[in-house]
Amino acid sequence: MCKDYINNVMQVIEQRNPREYEFHQAVKEVLESLEPALARHPRYQNFQILERLTEPERVIMFRVVWMDDKNHRIVNRGYRVQFNSAIGPYKGGLRFHPSVNLGILKFLAFEQIFKNALTTLYMGGGKGGSDFDPKGKSDFEVMRFCQSFMTELYRHIGPASDVPAGDIGVGRREIGYLFGQYKRLTSDFDGTLTGKSLNWGGSRLRPEATGYGCVYFAKGMLKTRGEDFEGKKCVISGSGNVALFTAEKLIELGATVIALSDSNGTVHDPAGIDREKLSWIMDLKNVRRGRIREYADKFPGVTYHEGKRPWAIPSQCAFPSATENELDEEDARTLVKNGCYLVAEGANMPSTPDAVTIFRKAGILYGPGKAANAGGVAVSGLEMAQNAQFIHWSREYVDAKLQDLMQEIHDNSYNTAKEYGCGGDYVHGANIAGFMKVADAMIEQGLV
Ligand code: NDP
Ligand code: 2IT
């Protein structure tokens, strides 16, 4: 019965949203894992929650025109997907990357609904962005693009309606330019964006939150086996915001981080990346905006592997922290064969469905992104709370809150999986727990 319901809904989604492959993938993974909950609670089918939950409340698409440094007129496309507001204002990042399209943003906004529900805070699901590529652009070009983007977006967002933040290609610099233009257009200095700089409304630890949170989640998974990070070899993909703060926390907890990457290749440092080397990388990426291969030129004993991802390097723990579908079935087999028994996803949907099947069959600890990387949006929620009160909290206070929230997300996912007969499967646990909270709110709020 439930299987038929899920299959029928899935079929309609594929027909109504042609070529939105990442969106299909994300929805399929969630719907299939909900089967035990749908079987136990017929109200979700009676109220047609799956049909309602998979249709965004609103999608905004707009032209973004701007002038580059050579006075060429450039046309990009801007988006905001306002997917679900049952449990709070739409909340989710903005992604600037040439691969951005509607299907990718719908997958991200859909995932965000459940992730935000898991944080225990009042946040609905949204995502936005543009096919603009900040790479190789001057600061002035990025500023002009952000100003043009916000000149349309500002009318659709606000501290109680929709609160964007960063994602791939959108960091502190971009949030600054976006906030400046928002303020100029509205005259409001408010908490409409998160990820702001500290001295104008940002929260302590927001930059670190996704990476630190992912490590805290992984620590919770290891604890179920009576283990910790001391001496564990870890590989991380990406070298952006999430990857570098994941590395920082892992080093602090005694792990040995031996690999990082970017879209061109992977660096392998068998001796381990220590604090000094990591701070050199942070400067390389954030200030000089360089490439990860430069790390191999700078430090002896490090090798660079052009066009390669880090998954073939033997490790015990892997942290995919770059982008979607960056870890496929063969990568998963290689990881498991080489002794990896913990995968915690800093990125959104980095493992393909076939890769996840391999992890499940191998019985390793696998933390899906919507649970493991929820620390970023959780601290965004804390930034909203601080902004609403015009106060700011100390680093120690925010860190304690983040650790508690990640442990709560871990325990909720773990216990829900057990309750629904899927013990040890964090995918089922996270999806069911997030889903029930949102679905119940939708039922209580009526047909809107
Ligand atoms: P950044 O832009 O800071 O860094 C992205 C990193 O991933 C870069 O090293 C980039 O390499 C690499 N990358 C991006 N696209 C690709 C690609 N198509 N193929 C290979 N490598 C790629 O982004 P974040 O660190 O913020 O985001 C990384 C992931 O984490 C994303 O999946 C994002 O959705 C997710 N996430 C981010 C959160 C946040 O708070 N920022 C919160 C939760 C999840 P290059 O420089 O070569 O492009
Ligand atoms: O994917 C994500 O959770 C983010 N990019 C962070 C969103 C946010 O609103 O902080």
Ligand 2 and 429: CB distance under 6 A: no
Does ligand 1 lie within 6 Å of residue 327's CB atom? Answer: no
Q: Mean pLDDT across the stretch 274-300? A: 97
The alpha carbon of 114 is separated from its chain's Cα centroid by a whole number of angstroms, namely 12
The predicted pLDDT at position 49 comes to 98
For tokens 């999986």, the residue is: 417
For ligand 2, the distance from its centroid to the CA atom of residue 296, given in whole angstroms, is: 31
Is residue 402's pLDDT more than 80?
yes
Mutational pocket test of ligand 1: of 95, 112, 194, 263, the residue with most ligand atoms within 8 Å of the beta carbon: 263
Ligand 2 atom at minimum distance from 374 CA: 3
The response to whether residue 241 sits with its C-beta less than 6 Å from ligand 1 reads: yes
Going by alpha carbons, the residue nearest to atom 47 of ligand 1 is 263
Q: Which of ligand 2's atoms lies nearest the C-alpha of 377?
A: 10
Establish whether residue 167 lines the binding site of ligand 1, counting it when its CB lies within 6 angstroms of any ligand atom: yes
Query: Which residue's alpha carbon is nearest to atom 10 within ligand 1?
Result: 262
How far, rounded to the nearest angstrom, does the alpha carbon of residue 438 sit from its chain's CA centroid?
A: 19
DSSP one-letter string for 261-324 = EETTEEEE-TT---HHHHHHHHHHHHTS---THHHHHHSTT-EEEET--GGGS--SEEE--S-T
pLDDT digits (tens, 9 = 90+) for 25-51: 999 999 999 999 999 999 999 999 999
What pLDDT was estimated at residue 1?
77
Give residue 443 CA to ligand 1 midpoint distance, Å: 35
**What are the Cα distances from residue 155, in Å, to 177, 182, 207, 248, 280?**
17, 9, 27, 38, 40
Name the residue at shortest CA distance from atom 4 of ligand 1.
240
**Residue 246 banded pLDDT, cuts 50, 70, 90:** very high
Q: Is the CB of 29 under 6 A from ligand 1?
A: no
Taking the centre of ligand 1 as the mean of its atom positions, its distance from the CA of residue 394, in whole angstroms, is 27
Who's near 264: CB < 8 A, 6+ residues apart? 291, 292, 293, 306, 307
Give catalytic status of residue 232 as yes or no.
no
Nearest to 402 by CA among 252, 212, 221, 223: 212
**Cα-Cα-Cα-Cα dihedral sign, residues 191, 65, 79, 368:** negative
Ligand 1 nearest atom to the CA of residue 195, by list position = 40
The two structure tokens encoding residue 254: 């005694």
State the pLDDT at residue 361.
97
- C-beta neighbour count of 427 within 10 angstroms: 22
Over range 151-172, report the average pLDDT: 98
In this prediction, residues 56-64 reach a mean pLDDT of 98
Ligand nearest to the CA of 211: 1
Give the closest residue to 65 by CA, choosing from 56, 78, 48, 52.
Answer: 78
How far away, in angstroms, is 216 Cα from ligand 1 center?
A: 19
Q: Is the CB of 376 under 6 A from ligand 2?
A: yes
**pLDDT over 90 percentage in the chain:** 100
For the segment 401-427, the average pLDDT, to the nearest whole number, is 98
Q: What average pLDDT is seen over the chain?
A: 98
Average pLDDT over residues 372-389: 98
448 has pLDDT over 90: yes
Predicted local distance difference test score (pLDDT) of residue 315? 98
Question: 240 CA to middle of ligand 1, Å?
Answer: 6
Q: How far is the CA of 327 from the centre of ligand 1 (A)?
A: 14
Q: Is the CB of 350 under 6 A from ligand 2?
A: no
Is residue 213 lining ligand 2, measured as CB closer than 6 Å? no
Which of 323, 349, 373 maximizes ligand 1 atoms within 8 Å of its Cβ, making it the mutation to test the pocket? Answer: 323
322 Cβ inside 6 Å of ligand 1: yes
Q: Kindly state the tokens that stand for 168.
A: 């791939």
Candidates 241, 305, 402: which one to mutate for ligand 1, based on the most atoms within 8 Å of Cβ?
Answer: 241
CA of 168 to the centre of ligand 1 (A): 4
* pLDDT tens digits, 89-141: 999 999 999 999 999 999 999 999 999 999 999 999 999 999 999 999 999 99
DSSP letters for 119-163: TTSS-EEEEEEES---TT--HHHHHHHHHHHHHHHGGG-BTTTEE
Q: Are 256 and 233 in contact (CB under 8 A)?
A: yes
Residue of 127, 219, 232, 277 marked active site: 127
Question: What would the two tokens of residue 115 be?
Answer: 């992730």
d(C-alpha 436, C-alpha 87), whole Å: 11
CA 80 – CA 62 distance, rounded (Å) = 9
Q: Distance, CA 188 to ligand 1 centroid (Å)?
A: 30
Residue 346 Cβ contacting ligand 1 at under 6 Å: yes
pLDDT > 80? residue 398:
yes
